[in-house]
Amino acid sequence: MNSDHKTLEHEALESLDPMATVPKLSGPIGRVIGWVDTCFLTVAVVALVAIAATVLLQISSRLFLPFSIAWTEELSRYLFIYMVALSAGVVLRQNRNISVELFHHLLGPRMQAAFQVLICALIGLFAFLVLPYAWQYAQNGAWQTSPTLHVPMLYIFFSTVVTFALLLVYSLLGCLEGIIAMCRSSATHQES
């Protein structure tokens, strides 16, 4: 019964997301990558909960206190920035980024894997080209502090480096998974 449930779940996922047919890495490497994904997503969820708590604190202070707390808006903005930065790579790996799906369902497994390689290669190339400029941008924050929290802006601007570095790593991983899927698919066709 459990395997039937897994099969139905997999078929439902494929119908919603045709790119889900490209298998992820398995074995010890796949488990380590899954653990890293979980860590990034956990930190992103903690940031989301912290945003909600900060906004509630801000609203409560405006309603119930004679003054409003000034740093809450700034903190919620910085938490949002890092939430996006830390989850960008995992979103790419899980094919949950925004895309136009006009023809994905028409592609066979090998072409879906090739399409994943193409998309990940383009995103990786873009991240590779932008990463040095993101680092230069982050260094501009070394001489500034945030207005109310007095945090060095280097830490805030560093989120761009985190975003593009994770996109680069996860795009390389997506290319590798796509290439492996293409090779396995062609080996399966040759055996037939």
The first and second tokens of residue 172, run together, are 């390389």
Q: Return per-residue pLDDT of the chain as tens, 192 residues.
A: 556 666 665 555 555 555 566 778 788 888 999 999 999 999 999 999 999 999 999 999 888 988 878 899 999 999 999 999 999 999 998 887 766 666 767 788 888 889 889 999 999 999 999 999 999 999 998 889 999 999 999 999 999 999 999 999 999 999 999 999 888 766 655 554
* pTM of the predicted protein model: 0.82
Residue 181 CA to chain centroid, in angstroms? 21
Which whole-number Å values give the CA distances from 24 to 4, 74, 146, 170, in the listed order?
21, 38, 41, 12
Query: Quick count: other Cβ atoms within 10 Å of Cβ 47?
Result: 21
Q: How far apart are CA 48 and CA 59, in angstroms?
A: 17
